Structure 1
Amino acid sequence: MNRAPTSRQAKAQRTGLRAEALAALVLVLKGYRIVARRYAAAGGEIDLIARRGDTVAFVEVKARAQLEDAHAAISQQKAARMARCVRHWLARNPWAAGLTLRCDAVFLAPRRLPRHVPAVLSLAID
């Protein structure tokens, strides 16, 4: 049975969508092309998939009150779910197999510039 989201859930979803849109803008301004948004599979989700040159970045977006809290919000469990999702995406996008693959993050906090961190996690997809 599907339930309507609570007002708290709806607010969190709107905040997440705004954070992802801002993160996508940051990446585009840095020369990336957004390949996919909110790619969900294999029990995980990748917020953004972006490409620049021969690099494909699987990007986790975290918005918190403090940038340091955003960085700490990426757990090993999240990394494992993300890796499963990356493997799924690669199976459906074989053109990317020969490219450099990396797991990046964009951290956001109020009144602070967004912080893009390349290779924030090791991407164990073997």
Structure 2
Amino acid sequence: MPDRKTKSAGARARAEKAGRQAESLCCLYLWIKGYRILARRYRGVGGEIDIIARKSGILIAIEVKQRASENAALFAVTARQQNRIAQSLQGFAAKTGHAGDLRMDVMTVRPRGRIRHHINVWMGP
């Protein structure tokens, strides 16, 4: 009988793999829609941003959430996480010399690869 740590480590590994696959699927979707992917899994001062992209001069942080329902995915982005992502995006903008607009999108991925792109869902102060 496997111990709890092994089982939870296995579950974390499966979730990590599923998350990477969802991010790859979202990158492909964004590329097809004309977005330029600048970074994946960017670690900034505030925390990690799943995808950083640019379109029409706007620098965009995209959080990818894979859940069984769209509502569960959207509610999984907490206010604390939003603030950390905003900090990291502002740092990325400063580092790269981007002086234009910033925004935050959320992409939800449901079973069987159903993707929905929620544009400009939130941006910090």
**1:23 equivalent in structure 2:** 26
Distance 2:58 2:70 in 1: 25
Q: Classify the secondary structure of the residue corresponding to 1:31.
A: coil
Structure 1 unpaired stretches of 5+: none
How far apart are residue 68 of structure 1 and its match?
A: 1.3
Distance 1:107 1:118 in 2: 11
Q: Which has the larger radius of gyration?
A: 2
Q: How does 1:38-117 map to 2 (within 5 A)?
A: 38-94=41-97, 96-97=98-99, 99-111=100-112, 113-117=114-118
**1:7 equivalent in structure 2:** 10
Kindly provide the amino acid, as one letter, of the partner of residue 109 in structure 1. R
Distance 2:46 2:124 in 1: 16
Cα deviation digits, residues 67-120 of structure 1 (max 9, x gap): 1110111110111111111122122111x11x2211011111003630001101
Q: CA RMSD in A?
A: 1.7
Overall identity of the aligned pairs, in %: 37
Distance 2:81 2:41 in 1: 15
**2:3 equivalent in structure 1:** none
Structure 2 unpaired stretches of 5+: 1-5
Task: State the 4+ residue runs in structure 1 displaced beyond 6 angstroms.
Answer: none
Distance 2:11 2:112 in 1: 22
How far apart are residue 43 of structure 1 and its match?
A: 3.8
Normalised TM-score (structure 2): 0.87
Distance 1:101 1:26 in 2: 20
